[in-house]
Structure 1
Amino acid sequence: MNKDNSIETAQKFIHKYFPNCNGALLAGSVVRGEETDTSDLDIVIFDETVPSSYRESLIEFDWPIEVFVHNTSSYKPFFESDRKRARPSLPQMVSEGIILKDDGVIEIIRKEAIDLLKKGPEEWSEITLKIKRYFLTDTLDDFIGCTNRGEEIFIANALAELVSEFVLRSNCHWIGTSKWIVRSLRAYDEDYTIQFVEAFDTYYTTGDKERVIHLVEAAMEPFGGRLLEGFSLGK
Structure 2
Amino acid sequence: MSIDGFDIARSLVCERFPGARAAWLGGSTVLGMATPTSDLDISVLFDGRPAPYSESLRYQGWPVELFVHTEEAMRHFLAKDRKDRRPATLRLIGRSLVLLDNDGSGESLREGCATQLAAGPDPLTAQELQSARYGITDRLDDLVGCADDDERLLIATDLWQATADLLLTGHGHWTGTGKWLHRELAAFDHHAGTEYAKALAHGVRSVAQGNPEPIVETVTQALTIFGGRFFDGFTAQGPA
TM-score class, shorter: over 0.9
In structure 2, give the amino acid aligned to 1:102. D
1:57 Cα deviation after fit:
1.0
Q: Which residue of 2 aligns with 1:171?
A: 171
Alignment partners' CA distance in 1, 2:35 and 2:226: 39
Cα 1:224–1:187 change in 2 (3 A) is same
1:165 Cα deviation after fit:
0.8
1:203 Cα deviation after fit:
2.9
Structure 1 runs of 4+ aligned residues shifted over 3 Å read 49-52
Q: Which residue of 2 aligns with 1:19?
A: 18
In structure 2, give the amino acid aligned to 1:221. T
Residue range with higher mean Cα deviation, 46-55 or 12-21: 46-55
Contact 1:83/1:116 (CA < 8 Å) preserved in 2?
no
**SS where residue 19 of structure 2 aligns?**
coil
**SS where residue 189 of structure 1 aligns?**
helix
**SS where residue 175 of structure 1 aligns?**
coil
Alignment partners' CA distance in 2, 1:184 and 1:207: 28
Give the number of equivalent residue pairs.
233
Q: Which residue of 2 aligns with 1:70?
A: 69
1:52 Cα deviation after fit:
4.3
In structure 2, give the amino acid aligned to 1:113. C
Deviation string for 1:195-225 (max 9, x for gaps)?
Answer: 3333333333x32111111111111113321
Query: What are structure 2's unaligned runs of at least 5 residues?
Result: none
Alignment partners' CA distance in 2, 1:32 and 1:167: 23
1:51 Cα deviation after fit:
6.2
1:73 Cα deviation after fit:
4.2
The structure 2 residue matched to 1:233, chosen from 202, 213, 236, is: 236
Deviation string for 1:114-152 (max 9, x for gaps)?
Answer: 121122112111121111111110100000111100111
1:231 Cα deviation after fit:
1.9
| TM-score, normalising length: structure 1 | 0.92
Cα 1:72–1:131 change in 2 (3 A) is closer
Alignment partners' CA distance in 1, 2:82 and 2:142: 31
Aligned pairs (5 A) from 1:208-219:
208-219=211-222
**SS where residue 231 of structure 2 aligns?**
coil
Q: Which residue of 2 aligns with 1:53?
A: 52
Q: Which residue of 1 aligns with 2:138?
A: 138
Aligned-pair identity in percent equals: 33
1:60 Cα deviation after fit:
2.1
